[in-house]
Amino acid sequence: MQRRLLVADDALIIRRIIKDMATSAGWEVVGEASNGQEAIERYRELHPDAVTLDLVMPEHDGLHALHGIMDFDPQAKVLVVSALEQRGVLKDAIKAGAADFVAKPFDKKSLQSTLDHLLPDAVS
């Protein structure tokens, strides 16, 4: 069974890079979101196995999304993919339940490896 991924980032090109990487690694990208509120809504609707989440997004940011997703599903696997602009925000994300973190700029192989570690027992 394919692992199902939701990709949340306000930059279209970053969503494309993550989608291409995940698809070639055997994930099914079931949805995308470009702000925090949309990420929550898409998570509730799609029930993905994992989420990649940018913290710096307009309107409702990634922390808003992380809290909303973890409230809905405390077992959610959320991989934060974000710039290290604000270290405090990263600490808040880990406290809020983020499973792991990949800093931008990222290497696609590192991102894939970190993403695969979120669901090590899944069959791709």
Determine the interface stretch with other proteins among 15-23, 36-44, 62-70, 112-120 (rule: CB under 8 A): 15-23
Pick one of 74, 75, 95, 107: the residue that binds other proteins (CB under 8 A). Answer: 107
Residue 1's CB: how many other CB atoms inside 10 A?
Answer: 8
The torsion region of residue 59 among left (phi > 0), alpha (psi -120 to 50) and beta comes to left
Q: Which is nearer to other proteins, 105 or 120 (CB)?
A: 105
Q: Which is nearer to other proteins, 11 or 94 (CB)?
A: 11
Pick one of 28, 70, 104, 116: the residue that binds other proteins (CB under 8 A). Answer: 104
Residue 20 interacting with other proteins (CB under 8 A): yes
Q: What is the token pair recorded at 62?
A: 């990634």
To other proteins, the closest distance from the beta carbon of 56 in angstroms equals 8
To other proteins, the closest distance from the beta carbon of 64 in angstroms equals 18
Residue 74 interacting with other proteins (CB under 8 A): no
Residues in touch with other proteins (CB under 8 A): 11-14, 16-17, 20, 56, 83-87, 104-107
